[in-house]
Amino acid sequence: DKLKELSSENIKTFAAGRTDAGVHAAGQVVHFDSNSVIPPNRWANALNSRLPDSIKILESVAVPHDWHACFSAMYRHYRYIINNGKFTNIFFNKWTWHKYQISLDEYLMNLALKGMKGKHDFFAFQKSGSSRSTSITTIKDIEIKRTGDLILVDIKATGFLYGMVRSIVGQLVLVGEKKITPDIFFKRWSEKKKDQVLQSAPAKGLCFINSVYNKNFF
């Protein structure tokens, strides 16, 4: 544990959002308590010198004692990237889901998003094994856009259920492939038909973009 190497303390960390195995993070926020003499702004460089190239600390700052990386967040932003091109891309392959068999109809996929914004019960998109007491959460914004061969699915919500984004994307791809209609997509989640939500997107296309706070310290 790199924090223990630096501080000689058993430090517990708290992250803004979860990233399951295979999921990436571009702007993860983590907080921890320490009595170390290391100045708050020096932790980033100290840790980066010990971390692998795949992990980098962008900045470290002091925060109030009552501030929490997870519970103080107003909402979180996840992005899922689908490569809808004919060929794999060696630069994007580790971070995208390659769906090349059919050209996805992003217009239909956007139609399927109708009604998702706001506070709803998204039980249909929650995978088994969740420790949450409720499947109700609030989606602040959700959109789909195509950039060349890449289809970006951006979701901002106050909280995310276990497996929620990957389940949503898996069902949206069915819409884009015209295997189900936007109305069927809507009924599956609004009527909590979890038994019909069988296709889920792979982990590697999902990225935790950032979390937004009422007052930012970094």
Token code pair at residue 156: 């901002």
The C-alpha atoms of residue 40 and residue 149 are separated, in whole angstroms, by: 42
Active site residue 20: yes
Question: 206 with 142: CB under 8 angstroms?
Answer: no
Q: Whose CA is closest to 94, among 168, 209, 210, 203?
A: 203
Q: What does the DSSP 8-state code read for residue 92?
A: T
List the catalytic residue out of 20, 33, 141, 183. 20
State the DSSP code for 6.
Answer: H
Q: Do 179 and 148 form a contact (C-beta atoms < 8 A)?
A: no
Cα–Cα dist 157/17, whole Å? 11
Per DSSP, helices labelled H in the chain are: 2-7, 43-48, 106-111, 164-176, 182-190
User: Which residues belong to the active site?
Assistant: 20
